[in-house]
């Protein structure tokens, strides 16, 4: 807490004490090794809707997430919130995510939405498709609204899938391509909760494939993701 207060003071905006107290009570995020076997633990699959794709200036508009408990999607354990934007700032992606000024004005105050999400997520490892984008956007939102430097561990399914399914030859490697490859149904694309749910379905597919290869923990899946990143770096080198 002292470090958070110092960071907030250096940034010129003091921590709001109720939010600071709530943030101080959050559990420490688990590492991949600590999370262990997914059959015995909870992880959360996250999708963010944002005002655009610029990591430095665009903002989080909505959070959708669903828990995978003991290796199964738990539909009773979900989170969804639209972050209020009083100025009605939908951004260039309005036509994609459909969040107009009215929906944004009626959303939760960002501080409350973000704290509610962190309380719900607890110490779980986060899973997302193209996780670095969601990770950076969420981290910025936490810093901007709560002066909170919280760093949960993120597993990137976009890196996991190619090493588990090299025969798939999915062109582009986008979420839509993997969804089509496995014939999954999406209730409403570019809706945070619907995208989180279909990403969770991909996670279950990945877990099933990993289990056939003798991998039963998140650390093993992260090693698969790291292999994809290494191969990508080697291709770019030549």
Q: Give the domain CATH number at 70.
A: 3.30.420.10
Instruction: Tell me the C-alpha distance between 170 and 177, whole Å.
Output: 6
What is the tens place of the pLDDT at every residue in 35-90?
999 999 999 999 999 988 899 989 999 999 999 999 999 999 999 999 998 665 55
How many folded domains does the chain comprise?
Answer: 1
Q: Please give the residue range of the domain that contains residue 164.
A: 25-237
Q: What is the pLDDT of residue 184?
A: 92
Is 134 exposed, middle or buried, given 0-12, 13-18 or 19+ CB atoms closer than 10 A?
Answer: buried
Residue 205 lies in a domain: yes
- The pLDDT tens digits of the residues spanning 95-144 come to 455 566 666 777 899 999 999 999 999 999 999 999 999 999 999 999 99
Report field, pTM of the whole predicted structure over 0.95: no
Given a contact cutoff of 8 angstroms between Cβ atoms, the answer to whether 23 and 149 are in contact is: no
Q: What was the pLDDT predicted at 19? A: 73
Asked if the structure places residue 5 within a domain, the reply is: no
Asked whether residue 87 is domain-assigned, the answer is yes
Q: 43-80 burial, b if ≥16 CB within 10 A, otherwise e? A: bbbbbbbbbeeeeeebbbbbbbbbbbbebebeeeebbb
Assigned domain for 17 exists: no
Query: Which of 74, 64, 82 lies closest to 196, judged by CA?
Result: 64
pLDDT at position 9: 40
């Amino acid at each position: 807490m002292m470090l958070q207060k110092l960071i907030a003071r250096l940034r010129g905006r003091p921590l709001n004490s109720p939010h600071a107290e709530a943030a101080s009570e959050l559990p420490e995020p688990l590492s991949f090794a600590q999370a262990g076997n997914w059959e015995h633990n909870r992880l959360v699959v996250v999708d963010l809707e944002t005002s655009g794709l610029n990591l430095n200036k665009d903002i989080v508009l909505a959070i959708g997430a669903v828990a995978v408990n003991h290796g199964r999607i738990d539909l009773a354990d979900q989170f969804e919130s639209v972050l209020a934007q009083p100025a009605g700032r939908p951004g260039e992606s309005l036509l994609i995510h459909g969040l107009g000024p009215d929906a944004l004005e009626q959303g939760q105050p960002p501080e409350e939405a973000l704290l509610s999400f962190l309380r719900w997520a607890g110490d779980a490892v986060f899973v997302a498709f193209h996780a670095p984008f969601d990770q950076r956007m969420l981290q910025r939102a936490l810093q901007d609204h709560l002066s909170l430097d919280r760093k949960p561990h993120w597993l990137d399914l976009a890196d996991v899938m190619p090493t588990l399914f090299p025969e798939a030859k999915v062109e582009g490697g986008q979420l839509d391509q993997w969804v089509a490859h496995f014939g999954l149904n999406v209730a409403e694309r570019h809706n945070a909760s619907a995208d989180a749910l279909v990403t969770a379905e991909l996670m279950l597919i990945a877990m099933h494939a990993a289990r056939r290869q003798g991998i039963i923990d998140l650390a093993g899946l992260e090693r698969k993701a790291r292999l994809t990143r290494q191969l990508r770096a080697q291709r770019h080198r030549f």
